Amino acid sequence: MSENKPVNVSRDTVDHLFDIEGRVAIVTGATGALGGAIAVAYALKGVKVVATARNAQKLDALRVQIEGEGGVCTTVAADPSDTDSFAQVIEAAKREFGGVDILAVAHGYNKPENILTQSVEDWSYIMDADLKSVYIVCKMVAEEMAQAGKGGKMVVVSSARSKMGMAGYTGYCASKGACDLMIQSMACDLSAQYGINVNTINPTVFRSDLTEWMFDPDSAVYQNFLKRLPIGRLGEPSDFLGLAVLLASPAADFLTGGNYDATGGYWAC
Ligand SMILES: NC(=O)c1ccc[n+]([C@@H]2O[C@H](COP(=O)([O-])OP(=O)(O)OC[C@H]3O[C@@H](n4cnc5c(N)ncnc54)[C@H](OP(=O)(O)O)[C@@H]3O)[C@@H](O)[C@H]2O)c1
């Protein structure tokens, strides 16, 4: 006969499931819609943020906003596809905050074009911006985390398009599909031995400067999208924050190598 054992869940565990206060996060693409939202959200949760992108002026505005909210932020203008440049981001994290616990990768680029007219150079540029640079920043931060020996969390923004083709998207879909598999492989390299958890978030359309035009409810694009969107609307950057915090937090200690759906149900139908 089996005993009635108490359920093994402690108040301490539950209270701190999503606690990321005091951690240090590098956020790439911090001048963009999703990277900016992640940087502000992490800072409001008490994370010390190293915000990076190539545009120093926009980074400065983000830092002023975060500091205005009482958050802690430093910025480094850097190119994620350049190892010397990105090394300065890691140096800043170590110098200013003593290391790095979380990496959020939210930079990216697309220039849709039919394969018949697209140049090989344009295709390669997309692959470098959306895949090679992601490899570079993950590799460099993983080396730092492995050396520090404290583990860490990596949250990489991929796309719903990683698992679905689209006209004009030979570069974007290929890079995002490869990104998902690269992150799964990184989990195999990094999680058991080094305690570094690596996951992607895969969004559909979220409001940004580039996607703003899709949000016109009268447009055919919007109406067509909605036919395949069980949630009934497109995404706002604030819709993105739950997964971004979850995957950086102790609640994700058992989550690695995953591709997390932020599609509003787009993958479901
Ligand atoms: N918004 C959406 O609907 C959506 C949907 C699916 C996936 N995503 C993915 O989410 C990520 C963030 O998207 P977002 O909507 O926040 O885009 P966004 O607002 O256009 O921001 C893009 C960010 O990436 C940086 N960037 C642009 N071109 C780059 C390049 N060639 N190399 C390195 N960095 C570059 C930009 O900063 P600097 O120019 O200052 O360097 C900026 O911080 C991207 O990976 C995107 O593919 C977005």
User: Mean pLDDT over residues 130-135, rounded?
Assistant: 98
The predicted pLDDT at position 2 comes to 64
Residue nearest ligand 1's atom 32 by CA: 129
Please report the DSSP string for the chain in residue order.
----PPP---HHHHHTTT--TT-EEEEETTTSHHHHHHHHHHHHTT-EEEEEES-HHHHHHHHHHHHHTT-EEEEEE--TT-HHHHHHHHHHHHHHHSS-SEEEE---------TTT--HHHHHHHHIIIIIHHHHHHHHHHHHHHHHTS-EEEEEE--GGGGS--TT-HHHHHHHHHHHHHHHHHHHHHHHHH-EEEEEEEES-B--TTTGGGG-TTSHHHHHHHHT-TTSS-B-GGGGHHHHHHTTSGGGTT--SEEEEESTTGGG-
Please work out whether the CB of residue 185 comes within 6 Å of at least one atom of ligand 1: no
Question: Active-site positions?
Answer: 172
Provide mean pLDDT across the span 225-243: 94
For the CA atoms of the chain, what is the radius of gyration?
A: 19
Q: Is the pTM of this model over 0.75?
A: yes
Say if residue 254 is exposed, middle or buried (CB neighbours under 10 Å; 0-12, 13-18, 19+): exposed
**Average pLDDT value for residue range 204-225:** 92
Task: Work out the mean pLDDT of the chain and round it to a whole number.
Answer: 97
Q: Which of 52, 54, 263 to mutate to test the pocket of ligand 1 (most atoms within 8 A of CB)?
A: 54
d(CA 248, CA 244): 6
Whether the predicted pLDDT of 119 surpasses 80: yes
Residue 223 is encoded by which pair of tokens?
């109406």
| Residue 150 Cα to ligand 1 middle (Å) | 29
End-to-end CA distance of the chain: 46
Residues 230/265, Cβ–Cβ less than 8 Å: yes
Q: Check residue 1 and give its pLDDT.
A: 53
Mean pLDDT of 249-257: 98
Q: How far does the centroid of ligand 1 lie from the alpha carbon of residue 68, in Å?
A: 24
- Which protein residue's CA is at the shortest distance from atom 8 of ligand 1? 159
- The model's confidence at residue 104, banded by pLDDT at 50, 70 and 90, is very high
Q: Looking at ligand 1, which atom is closest to the CA of residue 209?
A: 19
pLDDT in tens, 22-76: 999 999 999 999 999 999 999 999 999 999 999 999 999 999 999 999 999 999 9
CA–centroid distance, residue 10 to ligand 1 (Å): 40
Any ligand 1 atom below 6 A from CB of 170? no
| pLDDT score of 15 more than 60 | yes
Domain range summary for the chain, segments of one domain joined by + = 18-210+240-262
CATH of 18-210+240-262, one of 3.40.50.720, 3.30.70.260, 3.90.190.20, 3.90.230.10: 3.40.50.720
pLDDT tier at 3, thresholds 50, 70, 90: confident
What are the C-alpha distances in Å from 14 to residues 20, 67, 265? 13, 30, 28
153-212: per-residue pLDDT in tens?
999 999 999 999 999 999 999 999 999 999 999 999 999 999 999 999 999 999 999 899
pLDDT of res. 130: 98
Instruction: For ligand 1, say whether the CB of 76 is within 6 Å of any of its atoms.
Output: no
Nearest residue (by CA) to ligand 1, atom 11, is: 106
Ligand 1 site, residue 210, Cβ cutoff 6 A:
yes
Residue 218's contacts (CB-CB under 8 Å, 6 or more residues apart) are none
Beta strand 102-105 pairing with 24-28: parallel
pLDDT at 246 over 90: yes
Give the pair of three-digit tokens for residue 155.
């949250």
205 Cβ below 6 A of ligand 1: yes
